[in-house]
Amino acid sequence: MQPWKTFHSFANNARSPLCRPLKNKACCPLGSQPSFRSLNTKPTSALTLNKPTAPKPKHPKPAGTVKTDENELSNRQKFNRVEPSARVYEKLEKLGFGTLRQTKRFSIVRGKQKPVSEKDGPPDPEYSFPLLSFFAGAKTPASFPPESLVEIGFVGRSNVGKSSLINSLAESTVVRTSDKPGLTQQINFFSAGSLFHMVDMPGYGFAFVDDAERQQWRDLMENYAEKRTILKRLFVVIDARHGLKVADHDFLQMLDSKKVRFQIVLTKCDLQVLPILARRVMVVQESIRTYRHSVKDVLVVSSKTGSGINQMRKEILFLTGKLQPREFYKPKKEEVPQKRY
């Protein structure tokens, strides 16, 4: 005898609730073959089977909390609701991060943009840095080299692309990079000819080293940022895919409390599509507004494709006194000298 037949006759004889007529009669020659699902369920009385049960809330809210729609949104949903401005799109397009496709959003954004003829001046020339060379490494504040030329520092979480950014800016391969986080483990000083120094630092908030070492790196960077009088600006490098994390805010608060002037650089921007990148820029701009010592303009770069690198070179050359303000700031329309005939 077939096993299901045995079970069927047994269940019928025992008058078990399992032996209710089955829906799928077609597959059972006797018309009431028990399903294997029902075999695994506890036998329940006929009354309880039909009793309607109220759906249980997945995450019961504590009594007294009134939640608005906005509060209930996840961070991703909030991020997706951000409407980038026409100005941000324009900036990113100009830097070479793609163009907005002809969609509804395109027409809304383009509608707000000025016509091309009104846009400011001719494009920037191609800037370049002198040859980069390593001249000092420091694991303790005592081993910092003596202060000479002005310095530009690069900090950020591990693996965000600090070392790659220095290489890209100087068109060199002098700074060692790796796809594994935690390669740079000391403060490295590089000279750009006799113009200025670029300073590469270890990553903060790095999870794969022990607490003592992480704290040591952090103290070293804190000491450098606070005490180095020739430090012109600290570039805080942020991975554009992830934005500002808790470790970043923690570090920025420290910089702000020590009155260190810093500027955010979004890197790895080639890995993001234009609308997402534009939202990221908007969100980062908004979240640094509370820091008094931050530069409000966020730099957007890709060390891989070179987009935005020329703009950052220009910023550094201006900071280090190699560009005059009239070369750095675009003259406003009314300030443009009129041609005389």
Ligand X SMILES: Nc1nc2c(ncn2[C@@H]2O[C@H](COP(=O)(O)OP(=O)(O)OP(=O)(O)O)[C@@H](O)[C@H]2O)c(=O)[nH]1
- Asked whether position 294 contacts Mg ion by CB under 5 A, the answer is no
Q: 147 CB contacts (<8 Å, ≥6 apart)?
A: 228, 229, 230
Residue in 46, 37, 45, 39 with CA at minimum distance from that of residue 11: 39
Residues of this chain that interact with ligand X (CB under 6 A) are: 156, 158-164, 177-179, 181-184, 202-203, 267-268, 270-271, 302-304
With contacts defined by CB under 5 A, name the span among 148-156, 182-190, 257-265, 291-299 that binds Mg ion.
182-190
Residues 155 to 174 in contact with Mg ion, rule: CB under 5 A: 163
Question: Does the protein bind Mg ion through residue 188 (CB under 5 A)?
Answer: no
Select from Mg ion, ligand X, none the partner in contact with residue 280, using the beta carbon and a kind-dependent cut-off of 5 to 8 Å: none
For residue 264, give the nearest of 240, 247, 228 by alpha carbon.
240
Q: Which of 168, 184, 302, 307 binds Mg ion (CB under 5 A)?
A: 184
Q: Which does 179 bind (CB under 5 to 8 A by kind): Mg ion, ligand X, none?
A: ligand X
Rounded-to-integer distance, Cα 124 and Cα 328, Å: 9
Residue 97 or 206: which CB sits closer to Mg ion?
Answer: 206
State the nearest-atom distance from the C-beta of 130 to ligand X, in Å: 21
When CB distances are held under 5 to 8 angstroms depending on the partner's kind, the choice from Mg ion, ligand X, none that residue 109 binds is: none
Distance in angstroms (rounded) separating the CA atoms of residues 35 and 264: 62
CB 226, min distance to ligand X, A: 21
Q: Please identify, using beta-carbon distances, which residue of 109 and 175 lies nearer to ligand X.
A: 175
Kindly state the smallest distance separating residue 245's Cβ from Mg ion, in Å.
18
Provide the phi-psi class of 161: left if phi over 0, else alpha when psi is between -120 and 50, else beta.
left
The strand pair at 196-200 and 151-156 is best described as parallel
What would the two tokens of residue 219 be? 């103290």
* Of 201 and 255, CB closest to ligand X: 201
- CA distance linking residue 108 with residue 102, whole number of Å: 10
Q: Write out the H or E segment, with its range, that includes residue 192.
A: strand 187-192
148: alpha, beta or left? (left if phi > 0; alpha if psi -120 to 50): alpha
Q: Is the Cβ of residue 156 or residue 243 nearer to ligand X in the bound state? A: 156
State the minimum distance, in angstroms, from the CB of residue 237 to ligand X.
6
Applying CB under 5 A, the span of 39-47, 145-153, 179-187, 264-272 interacting with Mg ion comes to 179-187
What phi and psi values does residue 241 have, to the nearest 5 degrees?
-75, -25
Angle at 60 (CA atoms; ends 54, 62), nearest 5 degrees: 130
What residue is closest to ligand X based on CB? 161
Which residues face 199 on adjacent strands?
153, 189
**Segment 101-130, which members bind Mg ion (CB under 5 A)?**
none
Minimum CB distance to Mg ion smaller for 163 or for 320: 163
Residues binding Mg ion (CB under 5 A)? 163, 184
